[in-house]
Structure 1
């Protein structure tokens, strides 16, 4: 492969393929370089080692996972409807990933455990998205709170239980998600706080 055609996206695609093939524990930069037919030094021009590259793969996965949520933020709908859609999108994203690509999902769970800064950024992004919808709801007169960020953090924490793989097989999962989301939205609508 030409050095000209080597870029971060190409490296990330190859890294995903190597991780899929060998798993995150056994895969390494040399494997990625071999797949791309470049020296491992060429990879180091773009990433400062395995941790940096694996973090970039994890970050890209989270970005893909949250893409539908970003579209929900652009919807022209009342804040309570938008918040319900956003929360359902958050909790279903990983569930769908686990169903549609279980091998990569398992690999990403391992990667995520090592990429705590990337995960913290992803959580903060989720909280900020919820906060935007809560602020919209305050403006619309639907939600009542003096601390949109703190409420958003609480909403995120309350629904985060449903992103854990242990909940994926629960036959009542969908009903439980809806119940929690409805309860949270009722709480935000309560003007007697």
Structure 2
């Protein structure tokens, strides 16, 4: 039997959520799948809320890995960097929504609807965009993210499949690109 670890618990919970949906997975079922009791999981997580939040964050970090840090070497301008950074954010969330809808649902529930965790996530995004673009004005960075929230915020995910995602993204980009240089 493999040793129980935080990583094994997260991997098992991830697989179970993808296969069965978050509503049908609980700590007891994760424990059974790991060949242990749910009580053993409490050594690593204070409860289901903490497990699901950490699973959501680790999944999201994996999905957005190209942004942390963002490689700016192949871009010649600040506009190109910001455009590509925003596109990678938007495209990554879109692809995650399509590929793993149950994990996207978990992320929506445990990150997007948790103000403290959401604030941390958005702060991480702002820090990444700031480092990539060189834009120092944090207010501008938040405004840029807000302008593209339709393409990255889970609240709008159900609309993404009913639109020309890339064309709509580019239309919004055309509206704000002039403000990126200043």
TM above 0.5, one fold? yes
| Residues 134 and 152 in structure 1, CA contact (< 8 A), matched pair in contact too | no
Residue 140 of structure 2: which of 138, 151, 173 is its match?
151
2: CA distance between counterparts of 1:96 and 1:11?
25
* Offset, 1:123: 1.3
Counterpart in 2 of 1:176? 168
Once the two structures are overlaid, the 10-residue window that deviates more, 83-92 or 19-28, is: 19-28
| Residues 52 and 106 in structure 2, CA contact (< 8 A), matched pair in contact too | no
Is 2:158 the partner of 1:166?
yes
| Residues 134 and 148 in structure 1, CA contact (< 8 A), matched pair in contact too | no
| Residues 69 and 89 in structure 1, CA contact (< 8 A), matched pair in contact too | yes
1: CA distance between counterparts of 2:86 and 2:43?
39
Is 2:165 the partner of 1:188?
no
Larger radius of gyration: 1
1: CA distance between counterparts of 2:166 and 2:113?
30
* Offset, 1:114: 4.8
Counterpart in 1 of 2:71? 74
Say what the alpha-carbon RMSD is for the aligned residues.
2.1
Q: Which runs of 5+ in 2 are unaligned?
A: none
Q: Deviations over 1:118-169 (max 9, x none)?
A: 222111111222222342xx6xxxxxxxx61010000000101112213312
Residue 5 of structure 2: which of 1, 4, 7 is its match?
7
Counterpart in 2 of 1:90? 89
Change (3 A) 1:166 1:19: closer
2: CA distance between counterparts of 1:47 and 1:104?
19
Q: Structure 2 length normalisation: TM-score?
A: 0.86
2: CA distance between counterparts of 1:14 and 1:48?
17
* Offset, 1:39: 2.0
Q: Which runs of 5+ in 1 are unaligned?
A: 139-146
2: CA distance between counterparts of 1:97 and 1:183?
26
